[in-house]
Structures are given as structure tokens and as C-alpha cells.
Amino acid sequence: MDTHALTRQLFVKNDSKIVMFVADGLGGLPQQPGGLTELETAKTPNLDKLVREGVCGSSIPVAPGIAPGSGPGHLGLFGYDPITYLIGRGALEATGIGFKLEEGDVAIRANFCTLDAAGKISDRRAGRIASEESAPLAIKLREVKIPDVQIFVEPVKEHRFVVVLRGTGANKGKLGDFVHDTDPQVTGVPPLDPVAGNPESEATAKILKEFVRQAQELLKAEKKANGCTLRGVASKPSIPSYEDVYGLRAAAIAVYPMYKGLAQLVGMDILGHAKTLDEQMEVLKENWDKYDFFFIHFKYTDSTGEDGNFDAKVKRTEEFDAAVPKIMALKPDVFIATGDHSTPSMLASHSWHPVPTLLWAKNCRTDGVEQFGERDCLRGGLGQFEAKHLMTLALANAGRLGKYGA
């Protein structure tokens, strides 16, 4: 019996409230051996207080040694086995901006990038170009025309945009979604060609190669965004909803479209149009009586880690901590603070390291840990656990799971 079959049998309806507050890429590393991580350096008095009253541990997003993308990382937090339920980033991004994927559609998360005179990438994110600059360029790419495929191009945020392919004519129902990313993840080399991972995706790879060729021609006069890379080629997934498997009315409060998309795909309602953490807290307060579960996403601990900026990640971690009293003032029954993965600024990328996790509840068993940090959480009562079990811990502490067996 899988976990969801069990939760369907055991879930109990009550009025308890659960808040999952996610600092994307929360975990880090010290800059030198024996030093402090970004989280350990940051002043986090509010999280430290809850650690003393709650229980903590280290979550493993997918499996030991596996560095997850944001999709698998969040699916684990939501209680879905990220190996069983693999949702491609393209589908997440498209859903997050409100694009209605149809059966057979293939969605791709695309990045504008900067190419030098030799066609090599000098900036993978086009200087994190502002959305106001990038949106007209994404719309310009709608001029790309390829036989036997309908192409949708939609702006997302900053350097990101979405491409959706819908087969027509000879390609109707024949577009596979196993195509490797074209982002080489480093600068100083040209973008990779789209390469099919199976025979069913050969047509998709061929279309994407032609899309990139035409896109670069349309963008060649741009100083920053004169190229693009393609990531997370994916079709529409099938996944059970939060209400189905947990009996929860669930809602998400996020700024970035991808995280809205992921939440929507697991059946959460998307609340508000907040652009700042303060605005997210206002949306939470306004909707407090309408839902049982709230997922609140904070992006900037991840982006500063990916930029390799230790001090900026420390500052963003402190911003995350400063919002905690606004959540606790609403008196949740269960409060969770964690991340979807680690993004150490020393590595400037997602990593495999376990993620500090705090669970606060009125009836949890405290563990004697007094500070929220990587080394302290390794000594916590939750131990090292797979992230997919976090939701059952939340449900149990909220009184929402009955007894299993006689």
C-alpha cells in the first residue's frame, strides 16, 4: 500500500490549520571548513524560538546524493514521491502562468541568454533582464513558424519564457517529451543542440532545433537577450490532488509562476498576486478562514545562492525569518519551515545536501535543539528523513490522521 492509499483511509476532518513556509534552496555550506553556513550566519530569532518549542531534522528531497530540481524538491515536500511523480519544468512553468495544457502538448521552460560574437554563452540569464524588457522579446518570438506544429510563446518573469508545441498535420499526437536540455550550465561554451532521448521525441527535437535557429535570428540585434536555451521539456502530468489524498482545502501563495504551477497541478488554489513577502503575508491573513493548508513560497534564498552571493543569501534568510511572527500571529496548529533543496552559494547551484527542517505544533515532542541551522538540525528529533514523509508528520500533528489497524 502506498502512502496516499493510507492517508485516504485515515484522514480526519477538523478545523486545524497547517502552514508550510518554504525558503527555496535554504540549505547551504560554510565558505571554509569549520565555518558557518548562510543559515547559521543569519540572525533568525523567530525560527530559533520555534525550534526550541518544536522539533527539527534534515529532509532528503529525493534520495541521498541526488541534487533535485525545484519540481522534484517541492513534490517531495508536498508528500508525492518525486521519482514516481516526475513533473517537467516546462509543464510547471506553463501551468503557473495560466496556460491550459492539452493532451499531447509539449511545454518547454526557456531562458534568454547572452551570446558573444563566437556564439558562446557569456551570461546564462541575460543579466537577469527585467520582465519589462524580456516580455516584448518573448512576444516577438511568436513570429517563429514551423510546418505541422502550432507554437505558443508566453513571457514569464525576468529572463524566463515558455514555449508550448502542439502538433498539427503530420505531427498531430506525435510529439514526445524526452528531449535533453540545451543549457550547458556553464558559460564560455555554445548552447547545446536539442537531442531526443527516445525515438518518439525525434520530431520534437527537430522542431526545437529549428525554433532556436529562428529565435536567434530574431534576437540577433539585442545586446543582452540575443539567444535562448531550452529546459524541462514536458507534457501534461497526471497527479492526484491534495483534497483527494489528504482531505485538505489547500492554497498556495507564491510570486514566481513555476511554483504556482506546481501547486496548481496538485490541486491547490492560487491566492492573490503578491510580489513581496509582506504582500504574501497580507494574502495569507485575508484568506485564513477559507483553507486548511497554506504553502507559502520564498524564492530569493535560492537565487542568491545560485548567484554565489553568500552575504546576499544571509540577508534573504533574515527576511524569511522576519515574516514568521506574522504567520504565528494567526495561530496555526502546525507550522513548518524548510526548503525544497540546498543551494550553497559556494557551489552556486542546487546540491544534494539534506535540508534543515522545523516542525512546530502544540503536541510535538521537542528535542532540545535551540537554533535553526544545518548542524543543529542534524541533531534534531526528526533525524534525516525523506521529504515525502513531511506531510504525514504535518497531518498527524494537526490531528488529521486516524489510527492504522485495530
Residue 329, judged by CB atoms within 10 A of its CB (0-12, 13-18, 19+), counts as exposed
The answer to whether the CB of 96 falls within 8 A of the CB of 259 is yes
The answer to whether the CB of 209 falls within 8 A of the CB of 234 is no
pLDDT band for position 173 (50/70/90)?
Answer: confident
| pLDDT for res 306 | 94
pLDDT band for position 222 (50/70/90)?
Answer: very high
Query: Which tens digit of pLDDT belongs to each residue from 147-165?
Result: 999 999 999 989 999 999 9
pLDDT of 136 higher than 60: yes
pTM of the predicted model, to two decimals? 0.79
pLDDT band for position 1 (50/70/90)?
Answer: low
Contacts of 31 (CB under 8 A, 6+ apart): 310, 345, 346
Query: Which tens digit of pLDDT belongs to each residue from 354-368?
Result: 999 999 998 899 999
Contacts of 151 (CB under 8 A, 6+ apart): 142, 144, 145, 163, 164, 165, 166, 211
The answer to whether the CB of 249 falls within 8 A of the CB of 291 is yes
Angle of CA points 106, 109, 115, to nearest 5°: 125
- How far apart are the C-alpha atoms of 10 and 20, rounded to whole Å? 21
Written out in words, the top-level CATH class of the domain with range 3-87+239-397 is alpha beta
The more confident residue out of 141 and 2 is 141
The answer to whether the CB of 293 falls within 8 A of the CB of 242 is yes
Count CB neighbours of 384 within 10 A.
14
Question: What SS3 class is residue 367?
Answer: coil
| pLDDT for res 184 | 95
Averaged confidence pLDDT in the chain: 95
pLDDT band for position 237 (50/70/90)?
Answer: confident
| pLDDT for res 47 | 98
Count CB neighbours of 305 within 10 A.
33
- What is the residue whose three cell numbers read 508528520? 393
| pLDDT for res 262 | 87
- Which segment of 89-103, 188-202, 259-273 scores lowest on mean pLDDT? 89-103
Per-domain residue ranges of the chain: 3-87+239-397, 93-234
What are residue 129's DSSP bridge partners? none
